[in-house]
């Protein structure tokens, strides 16, 4: 799916910033794509965008209203429907990352039909994917992998895109989750693809490219997570990465939502190489992205230096310290 921007970010009346993580993530990386935010009374999230009405946003040039809020169960609250219908009547497309399909609501479907507007349910796709073939593709690919889920794989891939483009690399972020789709304007929510077609969907997302072109593929889950390892493995095989970056949150002792202990970075490297060789025998680790948000600057710097020394590869916090060390390693192996 390809979603037109500029965006109007709809935050509804969510109670906090965490419930608006989709909208806030879009603003973090694509501020220039955002006309403003639309909030209902009682909303406690703020994307630091101008507050604008829906019809005003349409006059300012907005193309799509993005439902940038989430809730337990991914269900669209009934009192948000009026705002979505108003956006469609104002000539905007509407996109949502909720599990519930927009078109399943009669009023929304009717408004889209009468206005000739598109509804994007980014967790669901109308694309029909083939099964993965594992055939070598041209171009270069990097995949972010994790010691756990929610450790910064998306932000690492986006930060790498920014740094690599700044150095003259031909590089594109490839989204595999709903927030990433909004940030890039295209992509596939891999966790909603039928299992047999996960690797094929990633092959579709990252097709043959110019020899020096880099696709920076957003990772999902972890090969060690009992809930999400199946998705992570299919993504790894379909990505066929030449390089991978291990993403890590150092303050955790167990993986999110389960009692299983966090694997070591070495275990993640070894299993990723062992499994990744199926579709790319030359797969290699190029470094580590450490989410040091919970640490002060001194502790953060000490930790990334310790990880780099232990494994003989660069380590950094992509948000705090930037991705230059990782791109230096890429440039050493694959000059621009």
Q: Give the pLDDT score at 31.
A: 95
- pLDDT (average), residues 129-142: 97
- The share of the chain scoring above pLDDT 90, in percent, equals 87
Q: Give the pLDDT score at 21.
A: 86
- Identical fold, 7-121 and 140-333: yes
- pLDDT (average), residues 155-183: 95
Could you give the C-alpha distances from 238 to 136, 139, 190, 233, in angstroms and in order? 10, 14, 11, 9
- pLDDT (average), residues 143-161: 96
Asked whether 37 and 52 are in contact (CB, 8 A), the reply is yes
Q: Give the pLDDT score at 215.
A: 98
Q: Which fold has domain 7-121?
A: Rossmann fold (3.40.50)
Instruction: List, for residues 221-247, the tens digit of each pLDDT value.
Output: 999 999 999 999 999 999 999 999 999
Q: Give the pLDDT score at 99.
A: 83
Instruction: List, for residues 259-286, the tens digit of each pLDDT value.
Output: 999 999 999 999 999 999 999 999 999 9
Residue 196: how many other CB atoms lie within 10 Å: 12
Please check the confidence at residue 1 and state whether its pLDDT lies above 70: no
Cα–Cα distance between 326 and 314 in angstroms, integer? 6
Instruction: List, for residues 98-118, the tens digit of each pLDDT value.
Output: 888 999 999 999 999 999 999
- pLDDT (average), residues 291-313: 97
Could you give the C-alpha distances from 185 to 172, 255, 294, 298, 333, in angstroms and in order? 12, 30, 31, 37, 30
Please check the confidence at residue 252 and state whether its pLDDT lies above 90: yes
Q: Give the pLDDT score at 278.
A: 98
From 71-75, 322-326, 331-335, the region with the lowest mean pLDDT: 71-75
**Structure tokens that stand for 54 in this block:** 């829906």
Q: Give the pLDDT score at 70.
A: 79
CA 287 to chain centre: 19
Q: Give the pLDDT score at 72.
A: 61
| Domain residue limits, the chain | 7-121, 140-333
Please check the confidence at residue 133 and state whether its pLDDT lies above 70: yes
Q: Give the pLDDT score at 135.
A: 97
Q: What's the mean per-residue pLDDT of the chain?
A: 95
| pLDDT band with cut points at 50, 70 and 90 for residue 73 | low
Instruction: List, for residues 18-71, the tens digit of each pLDDT value.
Output: 889 899 999 999 999 999 999 999 999 999 999 999 999 999 999 999 999 877
Please check the confidence at residue 120 and state whether its pLDDT lies above 90: yes
Closest residue by Cα to residue 63 from 107, 10, 109, 7: 7
Cα–Cα distance between 87 and 64 in angstroms, integer? 8
pTM for the model? 0.87
Superfamily of domain 140-333 in the CATH hierarchy: P-loop containing nucleotide triphosphate hydrolases (3.40.50.300)
Please check the confidence at residue 257 and state whether its pLDDT lies above 90: no
């Amino acid at each position: 799916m390809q979603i037109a921007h500029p965006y109007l970010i709809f935050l509804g009346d969510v109670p906090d910033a965490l419930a608006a993580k989709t909208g806030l993530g879009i603003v973090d990386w694509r501020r220039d794509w955002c006309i403003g935010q639309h909030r209902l009374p009682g909303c406690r999230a703020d994307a630091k965008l101008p507050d604008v009405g829906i019809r005003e946003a349409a006059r300012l040039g907005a193309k799509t209203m993005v439902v940038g809020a989430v809730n337990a169960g991914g269900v669209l609250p009934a009192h948000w429907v009026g705002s979505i219908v108003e956006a469609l009547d104002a000539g905007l497309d509407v996109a949502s990352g909720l599990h519930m399909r927009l078109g399943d609501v009669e009023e929304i479907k009717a408004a889209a039909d009468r206005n000739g507007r598109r509804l994007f349910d980014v967790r669901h796709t109308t694309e029909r994917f083939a099964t993965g073939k594992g055939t070598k593709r041209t171009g270069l690919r990097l995949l972010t992998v994790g010691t756990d889920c929610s450790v910064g794989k998306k932000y690492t891939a986006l930060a790498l895109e920014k740094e690599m483009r700044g150095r003259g690399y031909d590089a594109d972020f490839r989204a595999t989750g709903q927030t990433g789709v909004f940030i890039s304007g295209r992509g596939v929510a891999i966790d909603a693809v039928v299992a047999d077609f996960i690797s094929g969907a990633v092959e579709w997302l990252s097709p043959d490219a110019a020899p020096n072109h880099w696709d920076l593929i957003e990772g999902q889950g972890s090969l060690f997570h009992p809930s999400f390892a199946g998705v992570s493995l299919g993504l790894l095989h379909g990505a066929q990465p030449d390089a991978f970056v291990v993403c890590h949150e150092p303050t955790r002792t167990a993986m999110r939502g389960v009692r299983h202990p966090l694997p070591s970075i070495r275990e993640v490297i070894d299993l990723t190489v062992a499994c990744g060789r199926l579709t790319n025998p030359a797969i290699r680790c190029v470094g580590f992205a450490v989410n040091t948000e919970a640490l002060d600057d001194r502790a953060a710097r000490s930790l990334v230096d310790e990880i780099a020394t232990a494994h003989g590869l660069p380590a950094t916090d992509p948000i705090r310290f930037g991705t230059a060390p990782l791109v230096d390693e890429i440039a050493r192996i694959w000059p621009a």
